[in-house]
Amino acid sequence: MPLQQRLAMVPLLLSYPTVILSNDLIIPVELGFHRMLILPLFSATTSTAVACAFKPGMPSQVAVFLWAVAFLLFELALLLGPVQASSLFLVIAELVLAIDSEGGRRSRLSAMGRRLAPLPLVSFAISWVRGRSYKALLTPCLSYLLLSAAVAIVYPRATVLLKTAMRFQQRQEQQQHQETFQSQHNEAPATGAKVRSTAIPLAALTFSLGLYLFSSLQPLMVFVFIGCLGVFFLSLSDAIEEQGPNFVLQNWIVCAVGVLAAVLQYLSFNTLSASPTGDLLTAVFVASCELISQRIIGSSSTAATVSDKSAGGQETPYKHFHSHHHSHAHEKSVLSQVAHDPGTRSIFSFLLLNTTFMFVQLLYSFRSKSLGLLSDSLHMALDCTSLLLGLVAGVLARRPPSDKYPFGLGHLETLAGFTNGVLLLGIVCGIFVEALSRLLHPTAVQETNELLVVATLGLVVNLFGLLAFDHGGHTEDSNNENMRGIFLHILADTLGSVGVIVSTVLIKITKFHIFDPVASIFIGSLILLSAIPLLKSTISSLLLRLDDRKHNLVKTALNQISTTPGINGYTTPRFWPSSSEGSVHSHSHSHSHSHSHSQAQQEDCDDEHDLHTHKGTFTLVGYIHIQHVEGENSTIIKKRVEKIFEGVGIKAWLQVEPNDSQCWCRAPSITQSVTLQSKANL
């Protein structure tokens, strides 16, 4: 598996346990037994609502099914604890995926039972260690009963649903080119989806309100939960569309999830389970899950080679509606465009990772009441915003020209780079101000340990980002200012983390608190130094500055024009770098007829036209007014000039006018007035 895909998995793997854990924290444990029922209900409703929000065209069967699965998951999480629940659920998902196609219902169930047999034993052992009473055994017993019941009931429905969804999808794919059919077909689900996408969130909202009123719901946790759910679904759909639904069938994935969940749980509760033996047994549980999943993968890979790959509509239940979304691909949203663009994909997954990490930090900061973490996570939110800005700009820049942007949005990327540069400047100013005030009023840095942990984690995440960048579209277009801005942003964050680590270590060693502001000033100047070239280049291209090569191009063209017989002069030659070819393509009509000339043209002017390799790409766009001698044929003049511009690769609008005619470009009054208008404050 290429590194890029592996990177894309990271946010998914991180957000999955976070969702489960934050779900656990929404309602405090004191509530008692009601919690077991209310909380999963709430969580399932919320997650369905979030899913609906992300995929508006979801059929209602899928929504119900999704709800059921989410309920099961969260119930399991409550009964067994996050670590066990997350790995167990993942294994079951793999099982469903792997052995779906073979055998009848009973055989499938028995196969699952066989495979999963060791797990309940470990679970029982864990709860025995924890409770040392028969009552404690009740929860795993209950959970496995629930699980088997759910598998028995839901599982056949899942296959049915999968089939219908596949049929649905196929039908849509057939009709994709028939737009009229498509719209009719979409009508029914669309209205249904509309109802759902208002109803379900409403339900979730009332649910949460009720919970807040009647019990002590933690709104912050709900916020974290919803945010993580969003990231989870996004990265899930991303991963599915990238690697197909079978991406779950990978080695070590269960292990990774289990370990992450354990780490998260340890962070928020400071314990894993009650005792060291419990910890050990949990580890055993995760390990056995991993073993089972490896066996499943081993068996399924042989089966997968036999069975048709394209019939792999077998998906974990709440995934197939994502692939159903495939059919809507022709009217993608900006976000999905970002996710699917090969150039920005890896950066997008880094963005997801960053967001997840932000939520993790937020969660932990609520638990530990640490302010450093809190402000750091908010800082990360700003980072994510600017990353998203850059990515969206990158996609929007490929939009075709419209009425509002007649020359296309090609400069948008430059603009985004500029914006990122300005934001970097703002951040640097903030750092300097803070550092100066620290220098003037030295304050002792407390909680150095915590700071160290946070900074290290941030460093790791940002290193992931830099890695993603190296394997992203960064290498081939180094002149892309948007990407450069994003890169600088990530780099600045990385440097910030390094600076904090170094200064904290130094403070710990030397006890001099001066290192903190010094380090921040140093890092601030580094960021500044890297931002200034970016700003310079973006400014010059936003001012429509022509570089030397283009300048010479224009000069060549103008010289040729001035030597053309019959032309008296020209005014207002204004040419600017074309941002995209789109606008020019739509306007290539005037050059079609002069195509035959262009070959002869190229023979006699053989200088520096190599950049104009193929027709249709223009490096410059602009307009010029040509004055011709009285009595000349303006059409011929126009053709000549067109030929010249075509030869050097300039798209020009030509206004050919008799020398003594009137035009704003020569009329003194108008020119003056326009000039003065820029002077006067109108």
Q: Which positions from 590 through 619 interact with other proteins, judged by CB under 8 A?
A: 590
- The nearer residue to other proteins, 306 or 543, going by C-beta atoms, is 543
Pick between residue 193 and residue 254 the one whose CB is nearest to other proteins.
193
CB 81 within 8 Å of CB 273: yes
Of 275 and 671, which has the nearer Cβ to other proteins?
Answer: 671
CB of 460 to other proteins, least distance (A): 23
Q: Which x/- pattern, by CB under 8 A, does the window 382-401 give for other proteins?
A: x--x------x---x--xxx
Locate 591 and state its tokens: 């050059």
- Angle at alpha carbon of residue 669, lines to 667 and 670, rounded to 5°: 70
Site residues for other proteins, window 45-84 (CB under 8 A)? Answer: 53, 56
Helices and strands in the chain: count of H runs, count of E runs: 25, 3
Are the C-beta atoms of 534 and 484 separated by less than 8 Å? yes
Q: Does 206 bind other proteins (CB under 8 A)?
A: no
Answer for the pair 155, 110: CB distance below 8 angstroms, yes or no: no
Any alpha helices (H) in 270-331, and if so which ranges? 276-306, 320-324
Does an H or E element contain 571, and which?
strand 567-577
Stretch that binds other proteins, among 100-108, 271-279, 455-463, 663-671 (CB under 8 A): 663-671
Per the DSSP assignment, residues forming a β-bridge with 627 are: 569, 657
Does residue 101 sit in helix, strand or coil? coil
Residue 494: name the closest of 510, 514, 470 by CA.
Answer: 470
Backbone angles phi, psi at 567, to 5 degrees: -100, 130
Instruction: Report, in Å, the least distance between residue 368 CB and other proteins.
Output: 11
Binding region for other proteins (CB under 8 A) out of 75-83, 268-276, 277-285, 563-571: 563-571
- Contact segment (CB under 8 A) with other proteins among 35-43, 287-295, 372-380, 525-533 equals 372-380
Say which residues have a Cβ less than 8 Å from residue 508's Cβ, sequence separation at least 6.
448
Helix H or strand E segment including 654: strand 650-658
Dist CA 256 CA 281 (whole Å): 17
Is residue 655 a contact residue for other proteins (CB under 8 A)? yes
Q: How many angstroms from the chain centroid is the CA of residue 104?
A: 40
SS (H, E, C) 429-460: HHHHHHHHHHHHCCCCCCCHHHHHHHHHHHHH
Q: In the range 415-474, which residues lie near other proteins by CB under 8 A?
A: 415, 418-419, 422-423, 425-426, 430, 437, 441, 446
Under the binding rule (CB under 8 A), the answer on residue 402 touching other proteins is yes
Cα three-residue angle 635-636-637, rounded to 5 degrees: 90
Site track for other proteins across 517-556, x = CB under 8 A: ----------------------x--xxxxxxx--xx-xx-
With CB under 8 A as the contact rule, the residue among 180, 475, 592, 678 that binds other proteins is: 678
Number of residues that bind other proteins (CB under 8 A): 122
Q: Is 301 in the site for other proteins (CB under 8 A)?
A: no
Give the binding range for other proteins (CB under 8 A) out of 95-103, 147-155, 295-303, 574-582: 574-582
Residue 220 interacts with other proteins (CB under 8 A)? yes
Are 86 and 228 within 8 A, CB to CB? no
Q: Does 586 bind other proteins (CB under 8 A)?
A: yes
Among 284, 304, 573, 597, binds other proteins (CB under 8 A): 573
Q: Does 664 bind other proteins (CB under 8 A)?
A: yes
Q: Which is nearer to other proteins, 92 or 389 (CB)?
A: 389
Q: Does 654 bind other proteins (CB under 8 A)?
A: yes
Shortest CB 313 distance to other proteins, Å? 26
Residues between 323 and 342 with contacts to other proteins, criterion CB under 8 A: 331, 333-335
Of the two residues 40 and 410, which places its CB atom closer to other proteins in the complex? 410
- Does position 233 interact with other proteins (CB under 8 A)? The reply is no
Q: Which of 5, 307, 571, 598 binds other proteins (CB under 8 A)?
A: 571
The two three-digit tokens of residue 125, written as one number? 């052992």
Decide if residue 563 touches other proteins (CB under 8 A). yes
Say if residues 83 and 258 touch (Cβ distance below 8 Å): yes
Site string for other proteins, 613-652 (x = CB under 8 A): ---------xxxx-x-xxx--xx--x--------------
- Residue 121 pairs in a beta bridge with none
Residue 412 found at the interface with other proteins (CB under 8 A): yes
236: which residues sit within 8 A by CB, 6+ positions away? 12, 319, 322
Smallest gap, in angstroms, from Cβ of residue 56 to other proteins? Answer: 5
Amino acid symbol at 568: N
Query: Segment contacting other proteins (CB under 8 A): 131-139, 253-261, 576-584, 598-606?
Result: 576-584
- Asked whether 454 and 373 are in contact (CB, 8 A), the reply is yes
